Structure 1
Amino acid sequence: MHDRCPMCALRFNREPGYFLGAMYISYGLAVIFILAFSTMLWALTGWGVAKIAIWAVLLFLPFAPMLTFLARVLWIYLDQKIDPEIN
């Protein structure tokens, strides 16, 4: 992640623990994705629960880094809406 935003120069490096909220957002997004993959696999294949869970997690893994980045962006956005930092 960049140190500053290239558009507005907002500093991304925060105090320790700042992105803890982003972990919760990332977890929620992961649950939604895995449930969506599981439902899709169940509807298309009719496999058992264990096989669907394994495949859903394996299909989710390539998306995990992107969701982590998205969660951080959402967390910074929420923080700036609630308590804007003036440069």
Structure 2
Amino acid sequence: MGLLGEVLLLPAAPLRGTWWVLEQVVAQAERQYHDPAAVRRELAALVAALEAGEMEEAEFDRREDELLARLASGRRPR
């Protein structure tokens, strides 16, 4: 893009900057969401809650399935 294009788009610079920041935040959130270490920590916390009697087995099974699906989706090539 040439100098003229940059000058014409200058009023939109704050929006473009905000959009870039939002893209970076979303990318980081997705990395953390699919991080295998984070999923394993959550699974360990679920097991501890089940063993302590803080959670019913049906709830444990549902949440465990969600975490395992998250772990599997993080391993798929994009």
TM-score by length of 2: 0.38
Q: Which structure's CA Rg is the greater one?
A: 2
TM-score by length of 1: 0.35
Structure having the larger proportion of residues in helix: 2
